[in-house]
């Protein structure tokens, strides 16, 4: 007779509540945390699973496309995707792409009229998101700077003290930290720092710079911790300036949390320039008509010697 297998309740036990809680993603102000707290011995270690999707709109200019590729080369935790049509249902399409690529945030470079570049930073799918106007764009190939750092190394993020003054700058600081900060122990990143991302606020604009941390070759093995006097910063690039337009509560839309009162769209600037040019042209025509009327009203006296040298 075949023996019956007996399973005790201890052998077939359901997972405990702590294990189930550790497996669930945590919801925060900036969306769902992809990071999972793993047990290593008796202590809990947080693993940052942040992934970034970088994409652009169709009909983007080559210069802005090179800027996007420079940003992709600087962020080892990002994934590049195909171009997206920016006119219809942009938010829903990008949210689906982010979910399909298993990412938690998105950088979207939107080019309009082949002149203006807008940058969207968003935490998907719950938000928040920010829309910037990008000015003063200089790519790595254009600058030809002397700095150089290892590809895939983790950057040090530095912010100016202005980010702690107003609440909307604090939101932008936290968003930039989560998007541009490379996760620790990422499979494509190097386990050391050799360059610095600098974000500074000047005239209500965010200016971005990338510097290499360089050490003299003869003192490379002698620099101890804290020996910052012997280290120098060499700019690598790229350079760009971000002008914040709006901060939204959702991903690529939703309630407006902040609107920049000093923002002027590039279309309005171009219209003012056209009006100025048209005003200059009208002034020239008016001056010509005044000159003609003055000549008709004040004719010159005939010259006696005008026909002397004619044959």
- If pLDDT is split at 50, 70 and 90, which confidence band does 9 have? very low
The whole-number average pLDDT for the span 180-187 is 89
Is pLDDT at 304 greater than 70 in this prediction?
Answer: yes
Q: Say which range, 8-17, 261-270, 287-296, has the weakest mean pLDDT.
A: 8-17
The CATH architecture annotation of domain 52-148+160-185+242-267 reads 3-Layer(aba) Sandwich (3.40)
Cβ count within 10 A of residue 241: 17
Give the position of tokens 């080559």.
Answer: 62
The whole-number average pLDDT for the span 84-106 is 87
Task: Assess whether the previous peptide bond of 149 is cis (omega < 30° from 0).
Answer: no
The whole-number average pLDDT for the span 265-294 is 87
Q: What does the pLDDT read at residue 50?
A: 85
Beta strand residue intervals within 251-289, DSSP E = 253-259
Q: What does the pLDDT read at residue 134?
A: 97
- If pLDDT is split at 50, 70 and 90, which confidence band does 6 have? very low
For 212-268, the pLDDT digits (tens) are: 998 776 655 555 665 667 788 999 989 999 999 999 999 998 999 999 999 999 999
Q: What does the pLDDT read at residue 308?
A: 75
The whole-number average pLDDT for the span 267-296 is 87
Q: What does the pLDDT read at residue 1?
A: 46
Q: Compute the distance between CA of residue 267 and CA of residue 275 in angstroms, rounded to an integer.
A: 12
**Mean pLDDT score of the chain, rounded to an integer?**
83
Q: Which residues contact 95 (CB under 8 A, 6 or more apart)?
A: 124, 125, 251, 252
DSSP string, 59-92: S--HHHHHHHHHHHHH-TTEEE---B-SSSSHHH
Q: What does the pLDDT read at residue 108?
A: 95
The answer to whether 48 and 99 have CB atoms below 8 angstroms apart is no
Q: Compute the distance between CA of residue 124 and CA of residue 179 in angstroms, rounded to an integer.
A: 11
Is pLDDT at 92 greater than 60 in this prediction?
Answer: yes
pTM confidence score: 0.75
- If pLDDT is split at 50, 70 and 90, which confidence band does 275 have? confident
For 184-202, the pLDDT digits (tens) are: 888 888 888 889 999 999 9
């Amino acid at each position: 007779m075949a023996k019956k297998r007996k399973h005790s309740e201890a052998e077939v036990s359901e997972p405990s509540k702590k294990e189930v809680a550790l497996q669930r993603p945590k919801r925060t102000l900036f969306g769902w945390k992809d990071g999972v707290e793993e047990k290593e011995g008796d202590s809990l270690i947080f693993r940052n699973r942040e992934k970034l999707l970088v994409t652009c709109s169709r009909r983007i200019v080559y210069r802005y496309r090179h800027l996007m590729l420079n940003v992709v080369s600087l962020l080892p935790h990002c994934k590049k995707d195909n171009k997206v049509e920016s006119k219809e249902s942009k938010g829903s399409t990008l949210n689906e792409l982010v979910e399909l690529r298993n990412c938690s945030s998105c950088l979207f470079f939107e080019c309009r009229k082949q002149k203006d570049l807008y940058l969207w930073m968003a935490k998907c799918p719950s938000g928040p998101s920010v829309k910037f106007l990008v000015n003063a764009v200089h790519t790595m190939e254009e600058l030809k700077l002397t700095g150089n750092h290892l590809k895939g190394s983790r950057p040090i993020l530095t912010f100016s003290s202005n980010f702690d003054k107003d609440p909307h700058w604090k939101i932008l600081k936290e968003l930039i930290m989560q998007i541009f900060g490379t996760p620790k122990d990422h499979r494509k990143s190097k386990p050391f720092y050799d360059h610095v991302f600098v974000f500074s606020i000047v005239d209500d604009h965010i200016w971005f710079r990338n510097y290499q941390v360089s050490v003299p070759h003869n003192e490379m093995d002698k620099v101890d911790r804290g020996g910052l006097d012997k280290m120098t910063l060499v700019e690598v690039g790229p350079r760009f300036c971000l002008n914040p337009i709006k901060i939204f509560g959702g991903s690529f839309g939703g309630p407006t949390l902040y609107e920049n009162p000093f923002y002027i769209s590039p279309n309005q600037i171009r219209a003012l320039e056209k009006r100025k040019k048209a005003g200059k042209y009208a002034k020239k025509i008016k001056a010509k008509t005044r000159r003609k009327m003055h000549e008709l009203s004040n004719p010159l006296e005939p010259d006696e010697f005008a026909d002397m040298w004619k044959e």
